Structure 1
Amino acid sequence: MADDAAVIDRARFHAMTEGTLEDWQAISRANAAERGRHVDRILDHLKLLDSDHGGFAVDRLEHSLQTATRAHRDGRDEEYVVCALLHDIGDILLPASHAEMGAAILKPYVSDANHWMLEHHGVFQGYYFFHHLGLDRDMREQFRGHPHFEHCAQFCHLYDQNSFDPAYDTMPLDAFVPMMRRVMEAPKRSIYTRDDAA
């Protein structure tokens, strides 16, 4: 019988309208083999922040590590610490909308509160410097009353705005990698995950 012939290693279709169950099973197997590699790719991008000072007293990687270190030492859970680590990962790729990049990367893996914090921290961080650039430092007030307003304001105040200290005893990136792997092991929500797949 031709059952063995049905096991293919690559999809045969040239347009998705031609796809078969066997094609999608091949794609699923290929993606399963790559499971976990997304964390390595994110780490590679995070490392691009090394030596990019952008005029600050510390480079962007040090700022990210310092923010995560402060959150970790303050007893925040791993999800929050990983958010702190990746909050500015978009600084050099998407400087005009950097906050949205970290939020998009972590959205499947984190709570609504942490996702909202990541997505809006740029505006909230502006409270500390926008007035020096001729911008409205109270821009964050447009979100006053939102359930996650204080969560985001606290993140910026306690961990983000004060993490530019060259003398701070920052934890190394390797200390955070296991946390990243645990937090990003499986999505909490995704269009590619069935509700009954538990």
Structure 2
Amino acid sequence: MKDGTAEDYALLERLEAGYVQQLPERILAALRRLEDSFSGYQVTRLEHSLQSATRAYRDGADTDWIVTALLHDIGDDLAPHNHDSVAAAVLRPYVREECAWVLQHHGIFQLAYYGHHIGADAEARRKYADHPCYERTVTFCERWDQSSFDPDYDTLPLETFEPMVREVFARPPWDERYLRPGEHVPLVAV
């Protein structure tokens, strides 16, 4: 890289800009691939993701929360043991900081439901009890994640959420107008 010229990097920057514009389509394609992901549950990982987003949508959540719910397990294919961190890394430049925090930590919070069955600490999330996003993560897991494995749930199709995904990933990355540090938006409309 040290031998590159200004012209080389100007060309690469132009090419990368076009590639970045296609990010929403790549995100949606990765989501669709969850249809053939990890098995054993009564629904596919895609159906689980859509159920989570549907529940968020029906709770009156805003776009950031809905897209966070939709993409919360997008890292499952490549990083089954730290999928939450992968999903958070994908979304962090585009959504409120609280959404990224909840996303990054939802895996450890989910242990409350099954950790005792697999020899894991079901109370591991307690180490975050004083964090401002603790209760939001508990609510995220309770209302949208752990409850979204129901084969009979009236789940909305991916097409419902595609415009939201495109909106979020069309934002300028790391823009404070969208990251809104320290701001907390309820998950459930009051």
Shorter-chain TM-score category? 0.7 to 0.9
Counterpart position of 1:166: 151
Q: Does 1:157 align with 2:157?
A: no
Deviation at 1:111, TM superposition (A): 1.2
Q: Does 1:64 align with 2:49?
A: yes
Deviation at 1:41, TM superposition (A): 1.3
Q: Letter of the aligned partner of 2:40 in structure 1?
A: G
Change in 2 beyond 3 A, CA 1:51/1:30: closer
2:117 alignment partner, one of 115, 132, 140: 132
Larger radius of gyration: 1
Q: Which runs of 5+ in 2 are unaligned?
A: 176-190
2:93 aligns to what SS in structure 1? helix
1:82 alignment partner, one of 63, 67, 90: 67
Q: Letter of the aligned partner of 1:19 in structure 2?
A: G
Deviation at 1:52, TM superposition (A): 3.4
Q: Identical aligned pairs, as a percentage?
A: 47
Counterpart position of 2:21: 36
The alignment of Structure 1 onto Structure 2 pairs a total of residues equal to 175
The 8 Å contact of residues 69 and 170 in structure 1, kept in 2 or not, is answered as yes
1:162 aligns to what SS in structure 2? coil
Q: Letter of the aligned partner of 2:159 in structure 1?
A: D
Q: State the TM-score, normalizing by the size of structure 2.
A: 0.87
Deviation at 1:33, TM superposition (A): 2.3
Structure with the largest fraction of helix: 2
Q: Which runs of 5+ in 1 are unaligned?
A: 1-15, 191-198
Q: Which has the higher contact order (CA 8 A, sep 6+)?
A: 2
Q: Letter of the aligned partner of 1:173 in structure 2?
A: L
Q: Does 1:120 align with 2:94?
A: no
Q: For the aligned residues, what is the CA RMSD?
A: 1.4
Moved over 4 A (4+): none
The 8 Å contact of residues 36 and 181 in structure 1, kept in 2 or not, is answered as no
1:182 alignment partner, one of 167, 171, 179: 167
